Amino acid sequence: MEIRFDKTTLQLGLFRIDADVRFPAGKITALIGPSGSGKSTLLAAIAGFVVPKSGSISIGSREMNAIAPGLRPVTMVFQEHNLFPHLDVSQNVGLGLRPSLKPSKAEIAAIDAALDRVGLLGMGGRMPANLSGGQIGRVALARALLRKRPVLLLDEPFAALGPALRHDMLDLVAEVQTEDALTVLLVTHLPDDAKRIAALTAVVSDGLVSDPVATGRLFLDPPNSLSEYLG
Amino acid sequence: MRLLGWLALALLATLGIGSIAAVATRGSSVVELPAGFWSVLRFTILQAALSSALSVACAVPLARALARRNFVGRNLLVAALGAPFLLPSLVAVMGVLAIYGRSGSIQTFLVWVGMPTFNIYGLSGIVLTHVFFNLPLVTRLILQGWSDIPGVQFRLSAQLGLRAGDIFRVLEWPMLKRIVPGALLLVFLLCSTSFAVVLTMGGGPKSTTLEVAIYQALRFDFDLAAAATLAVMQVLVCSVALASVALTQGNVAFGKTRFAVQERWDAKSNRHILADLSCMVLAVLFLLPPILAVCTRGLLPIFSGLPAGVWQAALRSVCVAFSASAITLIIGLATANLLDELRGANSRFGKVLGVIGFLPIAISPFVLGTGLFILINAIADPFALALPLTTIINASFCMPLALSALLPAFAKARERNFRLAQALNLQGWTRFRIAIWPEIRRPALFSAAIAAALSMGDFGTVALFAPPDGGTLPLLMQRLMASYQMDEAAGVAVLLVALSFGLFWLIDRGGRFGNQI
């Protein structure tokens, strides 16, 4: 599903960002830019946590402004605190199906299948405190997949991982994106992340969002805003 | 510095263990318990249990309302909730009486419309005043729990479509389960050792607590053995409660923590907004009128002339407050420094010693007072030493508070600056001044400020020792109240509140002035 910002202004206190941009359906688009540039705010607005001051945001053909976060065709993986610490892995993933902690047989099978997909089969009984950073990312991704929403928003969920683990996770995202034909927005501050899996990349800086262009071309001939950031 | 630490610990240990030993040896010689002992014990536990249950039950919805609503004045309201803890207990009593008492606004109204009136004295009045004191404290404690839930987890819940009930189960109930038991026990402890409230609000022998019974045994019957037995019971009651209190929790309730507001997508309906709004309005209606009543009544006498002896009493109070504050600061710093060094060396001995600093929680000021009374009575006249004794007891009672603020600060200073200090070969006093003091200045002076305000408003210990003339402001205020000179008493109350909060502000300000960190 295409994500469209129509002359949208987002304001949080003194911070303000203007967006008039489209992110195409069925592709991975990376959002890159300095920290504090508003990348996460854009995702929060798509997910419904920040209400635009003016303009609108549409997903597919539907205008989203009046729709509650839980009803949008969107699922988001956050930077941290993705898991409820008092629930085990299965319960955390199961919340992707419905807000009950007592899943049916069919639902248990679906949860196990989702865990299998992210390489965590058999870990359903673990508590979040006993998981590594990489495993926590995988559980969050498993829940996101189980929700079967066409749009997946990733807000630097792998930023705290080492290079090898981060590459594994990015490859996993690329894999499920192809299989489920998802529209993915990936916020990152690392050019390598974008180069690895994002077909398109948009630059966020100075309160503005550039149109997404092919990632390879962008880094070969970076615009001013990007080359300043890359240094 | 280290030597000072050992001296401080030794002093605390002598005070604590000495007074327990004194009451234990003196009390154990009596085989029969003082008359009415069991009903006193039962009432002590009953009122403390009721007070803590009610405080917590009201605090949970109020804390939730404050956690999820943002509005102009929210920060002011949350900050104001920290104030009752520093309010002199007699002032609170006077305020509650002015609203709920026999000639208070509510009863006057009831009489006017021809409804039956009620009697505030006894259990209901004691519990009401205790809730007035502790509801704000517990609210801040629980609000902290709510603010500690990462905000993103509420976003996550909104995205997953969790409703208010689900969020309660998944996020809020586990938090409450962690915080509420400690809060209950903290209030229980404070209420089981409360004196001024029970003395003034109690309705005769049926509603007497151990502390008041100790006071009567010492002051009126001069029965040291009975007082000692009661004191031993008091230690037992407190120790049982203390056994499960997490010591560190108390600090949050009146510290200057930031309480973040969380946006809640599950509580946007009018029903939820109305519920939260009514919680906050009810809380303000409960907490504000008593304070306003004292202030309005006391302002006039402030200008038209305060009773004789008020300025001498005020001077004595300020002296007691300043000395108690200084003692708390010096002993607290020395003890925390030593405990922190021992902890750094990972010594098990250090952990055992750490308990000494927290002994005063289990020993109520009155037990300490009774113990000191018995010890000093053998060699001198305790009444002649009233003010120094009051100072020492107040200071040692503030020690657990000071330590629970100072120990984490020391640990942080150690973590941040200690290696650097070692690398630069800074030792002893120099190391303390350069590597530690800048990091702990704020909590240190904050504890000193609390000690000053609490000592200023203390009515318990001073009542135990002070001679009829030569008391402090709270004592003068109580005498005026007892002789129904309410306007004069209210005038003294306003002066007392102004001095308490003024001292607190002044000392606490010193911790922040010019602080670049």
pLDDT digits (tens, 9 = 90+) for B301-344: 777 777 778 888 899 999 999 999 999 999 989 888 888 877 76
Burial zone of B38 (CB within 10 Å; 0-12 exposed, 13-18 middle, 19+ buried): exposed
Residue B256: pLDDT band with limits 50, 70, 90 = very low
DSSP letter assigned to residue A34: -
Chain A contact for B388 (CB, 8 A cutoff): no
**CA dihedral of A86, A92, A94, A100, whole degrees rounded to 10:** 30
Amino acid identity of residue A215, one-letter, is: T
What's the rounded Cα separation, in Å, for the pair B197 and B88?
10
Pick from A68, A84, A101: which is nearest to B153 by CB? A84
Contacts of B427 (CB under 8 A, 6+ apart): none
Q: Measured between CA atoms, how close is B78 to chain A, in angstroms? A: 22
Q: Each residue of B69-88: b (16+ CB within 10 Å) or e?
A: beeeeeeeebeebbbbbbbb
Contact status of B206 with chain A (Cβ, < 8 Å): no
Average pLDDT of B252-266?
65
Cα gap A85→B325, rounded to integer Å: 42
CA torsion through residues A109, A115, A118, A123, sign: negative
CA distance B155 to chain A (A): 7
**Percent of chain B beyond pLDDT 90?**
18
Option in B163, B170, B265 nearest A84 (CB): B170
Count of beta carbons in the 10 Å neighbourhood of residue B434 = 14
Q: List the helix and strand counts (H, then E) for chain A.
A: 8, 11
CA gap B488, B304 in Å, rounded? 10
Contact at CB, B156 and A81, closer than 8 angstroms = yes
Cβ(A80)–Cβ(A160) under 8 Å? yes
Say how many Å lie between the first and final Cα of chain B, rounded: 24
pLDDT of residue B29: 53
Burial readout A165-194 (b: 16 or more C-beta within 10 A, e: otherwise): bbbbbbebbbebbeeeebbbbbbbbbbebb
Instruction: Give the list of residues 6+ apart from residue B385 with CB closer than 8 angstroms, or none.
Output: B376, B465
- Tens place of pLDDT for every residue, chain A, 231 residues? 899 999 999 998 889 999 999 999 999 999 998 888 889 999 999 999 999 999 999 999 899 988 988 889 999 999 888 888 888 999 999 988 887 778 888 889 999 999 998 888 889 899 998 898 889 989 999 999 888 899 999 998 888 888 888 898 899 999 989 998 999 999 998 899 999 999 999 999 888 999 999 998 988 888 888 888 887
φ, ψ of residue B261 to 5 degrees: the values are -90, 140
Q: What is the pLDDT of residues B156-180, one digit of tens each?
A: 999 998 888 889 988 999 889 888 8
Mean pLDDT of B360-384: 80
Shortest alpha-carbon distance between residue A177 and chain B (Å) = 20
Please judge whether A68 and B265 are an interchain contact, meaning their C-beta atoms are less than 8 angstroms apart.
yes
State mean pLDDT over B222-242. Answer: 79
Q: Contact, A77 vs A154, CB < 8 A?
A: yes
A54 bridge partner residues: A9
Contact between A207 and A17 under an 8 Å Cβ cutoff? The reply is yes
Torsion angle in degrees (nearest 10) through CA of B456, B460, B465, B470: 40
Tokens representing B179 are: 């915080």
CB pairs under 8 A between A and B: 59
Collapsed DSSP state (helix, strand, coil) of residue A16: strand
Question: Residue B489 to residues B97, B194, B294: CA-CA distances in angstroms?
Answer: 13, 21, 9
Option in A75, A80, A86 nearest B174 (CB): A86
Q: Which residues 161-190 of B have a C-beta within 8 angstroms of A? A: 161-163, 166, 169-171, 174
Of B311, B321, B326, B320, the closest CA to residue B385 belongs to: B320
Residue B150, min C-alpha distance to chain A (Å):
7
Do B321 and B503 meet the contact criterion of CB atoms below 8 Å apart? yes
Contact residues on chain B for A41, CB-CB shorter than 8 A: none
The structure tokens 């969107």 sit at A74
Chain B environment of A95 (Cβ under 8 Å) = 160, 162, 170
How many C-beta atoms lie closer than 10 Å to residue B10's C-beta?
11
Residue B264 C-alpha, separation from nearest chain A C-alpha, in angstroms: 10
Amino acid at B40: V
d(CA A200, CA B174): 43
Which residue reads 């004592």 in tokens?
A: B475
Look at residue B201 in the predicted model and tell me its pLDDT.
Answer: 87
Do residues B30 and B225 lie in contact, with contact meaning Cβ atoms separated by under 8 Å? Answer: yes
Q: What is the mean pLDDT of residues B33-47?
A: 84
Of the candidates A44, A86, A95, the beta carbon closest to that of B160 is on A95
Q: Find out whether B143 and B65 touch, Cβ atoms under 8 Å.
A: no
The tokens for A186 are 């990936």
Contact A84 B163 (CB under 8 A): no
Sequence letter at residue A56 = S
Whether B265 and chain A come into contact, CB under 8 Å, resolves to: yes
Nearest CA in chain A to B150: A81
State how far residue A57 is from chain B, nearest Cα, in angstroms: 17
Angle (CA) B162 A73 B272, round 5°: 30
Judge contact between B399 and B331, C-beta under 8 A: yes
CA B443 to chain centre: 17
C-alpha to C-alpha distance for B261 and B449, rounded to whole angstroms: 28
**Residue B330 and residue B311: Cα distance in Å, rounded?**
28
For residues B398 and B85, the answer to whether their CB atoms sit within 8 Å is no
Distance (Å, whole) CA B335 – CA B99 = 44
Question: Among candidates A155, A75, A90, which has minimal Cα distance to A127?
Answer: A90
Contact between chains at A86 and B166 (C-beta distance less than 8 A): no
Cα→Cα distances B70→A31, B73, B255, Å? 31, 9, 21
Three-state DSSP class for A170? helix
* B513: DSSP letter: T
* In the predicted structure, residue B456 carries a pLDDT above the cut 80: yes
